[in-house]
Each structure stands twice: as C-alpha cells, then as structure tokens.
Structure 1
Amino acid sequence: MIKIRLNTNQKIILSSILLYFFVNFSNAQSISNNDGFWQNVQFGGGVGLNFGDGFFSAAIAPNALYNFNPYVAAGVGLNFQYSSQRDVFKSTVVGGSIIGLFNPYRELQISTEFEQLYVNRDFDEGFENNVDNSYWYPALFLGAGYRSGNITFGIRYDILYDEDRSIQNQAWMPFVRFWF
C-alpha cells in the first residue's frame, strides 16, 4: 500500500490547487443556454445501516450538486452518523462537505471531496480505553468511479488520513453516489 504523508502546508496547497482547477474549468465551460439555476441542480446522497451482535450504526448524508456543464459539477453535503457497541462506546459524527466532480467521459467520474467532521466518542466505564474524546477531523478524498446514468460506483482515497484520529479504519473507501 502506498502512503502519502503531507504536512499541513502541503495539504492546504493541494486543496487550493484542486479547488482552483474545478472553479476555473467550470467557468471556462459554463452552460450557455437560458436554463434557470434550478434546472442544473441535482439532489442525492446516501444512507447507511449496519447492525450485528451488540453493534448498531446508522448514517444519512444528503447532498446538492450544481452541474456547470456535462463535464463539471460542484456541490455541498451534510453528514450524520451514529454508532454504538454494547458495553464499549457510543459515537456521534456530524459535519459538512464540499464536492467537485469531473466527467471527462460519460462513464468516468473523477472527484474531490473535502469533509469537516465533528466526532464525539463516549466510552463506557470498565472499557480499557475509556477516554472520551471530541474533536474536529478533516478529510480530503480523491476518487474515481464508473458512472451509469445517475449512479456512480467507485473508490476514493483520503489524502489527509490520520490512523489515530480518523473515523474510518483505512484511507481507501468504496463509494456509491445517487443523484436525482
């Protein structure tokens, strides 16, 4: 596995370059017809549910996306996740995200997504690591996926991944995106 280690300044510079790319490309290729703003907006997101022997997790992540043209889109999203493991912990994660999508071909989608999440973990007494913690966690995902209509299947990588603070167990994550 390849691990990329960037310091804070390098992460900020990379984030700025990606944002600059999406803004400038979308302005250069903007839609030239007279459609209204709402004609170019799509809504979507995801939901998740996971449960097992004493474990429960639920997530909801609504998103709104503006299509500048057939190739470039950008949007915002909200995130909420609740998890619990009986006699171990409870966790609540809330936050927001900014996403940029580039479709060089109809079936290929390249994405960048910045998430800022507030994590609150409460460990039960008696658990060996019962230190409660609350903190903000940033994530910057670069991804690629196969697009078919309004659905995209792919994989993304968190270049800001921190093994000790991330709510995910690894930097690579599969995704499915739905837009209406």
Structure 2
Amino acid sequence: MRKNSFFSVSKLILLVIISLISNNLLAQQQQNMSNSRNEFWRNVQFGGGVGLSLGTGYTNISIAPSAIYNFNEYVALGLGAQYTYIKQRNYYASNLYGGSLIALFNPIQEIQLSAELEELRVNVNLNGSNSNSQDYWNTGLFLGAGYRTGNVTMGARYNVLNDTNNIYGSAFMPFVRFYF
C-alpha cells in the first residue's frame, strides 16, 4: 500500500510542477504577444484630410480618413478611404467614394515624398435627371512631395494617369495631410 501511495503522491507532485512550468511559459508567451501587439499599434498613425468648398451654386464636401504603419522613421505604408459630394446647381450632382493605398517616404524629417494609388466609384447625375446619370470607376496614381512639420504635411501631388476623362479638373493638386 505504501508503495502505491508514494507513486500517487509523486504523480501529484509531478503534475503540479508541470502545471506550474506550463503556466509560467504560457504567461511569458502571452506577454510577448501582448508586447508585439502594443509595438504594432505604437507604429500606427491615423489621420487623413477633410475638404469644404462653397461658392455661388457650388458645393464640394470631402472626407478622407486613412491609417499608416511606420516601418521606421523613413518609410510608411497605409490605407485610405474617401467620400466626396459635389453639386453644381442646375448642372450636376456627384458622389465619389473609394479607397487608396498610400506609401510615404521621408528622406529627411522635413520632406515627405508620397505615392498614392486611388480607386473611386463615380456617380454623376446630370441636369437633375436620372436618365442622364453616369456610373464608372476612376483610377488615379498620385506622386507628390510636401513640407512636413510635426503631424502636418503641406504639398502638391500630380496624377500621372490623368487623361481628358478624369474626374479632377487638373492633374496637379495641392494637399494638406494630418497624422496623429
């Protein structure tokens, strides 16, 4: 009998030791995963841009949120979304929505170079009539440069895919970008 109880106590002690070791290893693994997640989010910045243009019979409202991941102090990649409403009284109303891929390069702290691939769905209603409406996709590839100070970059970008059917009035566009 004593031999069986010795083995039972030994098994119990062995189980307790294995359990404590495995719990300690699991806690370290969870802590490492938590640190990795925290490190990831420390490198993410949110921002984008907003726009408002009003004139006699003209309205342009735009919102473009985005998020970037900073790989280091020089390179960041991200995603963006965009919605724009444009209306020219007695002529047309338009809704534009879509997304973009963003690449930022900062050769020095004050200069930011950018490339942005944008895909927008364009819905245009001409003369207030549904029979004159148009729906199509528009692709833009913008290359830009800007002056960066703190969380703000001001500059200009150029749509290298610009053609006569483009939704923008010009291939050259100024911008202001914010990331926090």
TM-score normalised by L of structure 2: 0.76
Alpha-carbon offset, residue 49 of structure 1 = 1.0
Q: CA offset at residue 131 of structure 1?
A: 3.8
- Change in Cα spacing, 1:178 to 1:125, as seen in structure 2 (3 Å) is closer
**Corresponding residue number in structure 2 for 1:48:** 51
Q: 1:11-160, aligned counterparts within 5 Å? A: 36-124=39-127, 131-160=132-161
CA root-mean-square deviation: 1.7
CA deviations 1:103-145 (Å, max 9, x no partner) are 010111111000000001001169xxx8421100100001111
Query: For structure 1, which runs of at least 5 residues remain unmatched after alignment?
Result: 1-32
| CA deviation map 1:13-57 (0-9, x unaligned) | xxxxxxxxxxxxxxxxxxxx9661100000001111111111111
Distance 2:59 2:169 in 1: 17
Aligned residues: 144
Alignment match, 1:3: none
Question: Which amino acid counterpart does residue 170 of structure 1 have in structure 2?
Answer: S
The answer to whether the 8 A contact 2:93-2:128 is kept is no
Q: Which residue is equivalent to 1:8?
A: none
Residue type at the aligned position of 1:37: F
Give the distance between the partners of 1:123 and 1:54, measured in 2 at CA: 15
- Distance (whole Å) between structure 1 residues aligned to residue 135 and residue 93 of structure 2: 12
With the length of structure 1 as denominator, give the TM-score of the two structures: 0.76
Q: Which has the higher helix share?
A: 2
Larger gyration radius, structure 1 or structure 2: 2
Structure-2 separation of matches of 1:70 and 1:50: 34
1-side partners of 2:144 and 2:86: how far apart? Answer: 25
- Cα distance between partner residues in 2 of 1:70 and 1:103: 7
Cα separation, 2, equivalents of 1:84 and 1:122: 9
Q: Please give the alpha-carbon distance, in whole angstroms, between the structure 2 residues aligned to 1:138 and 1:83.
A: 18
Segments ≥4 residues shifted beyond 3 Å: none
Higher relative contact order (CA 8 A, sep 6+): 1
CA distance in 1, matches of 2:86, 2:170: 17
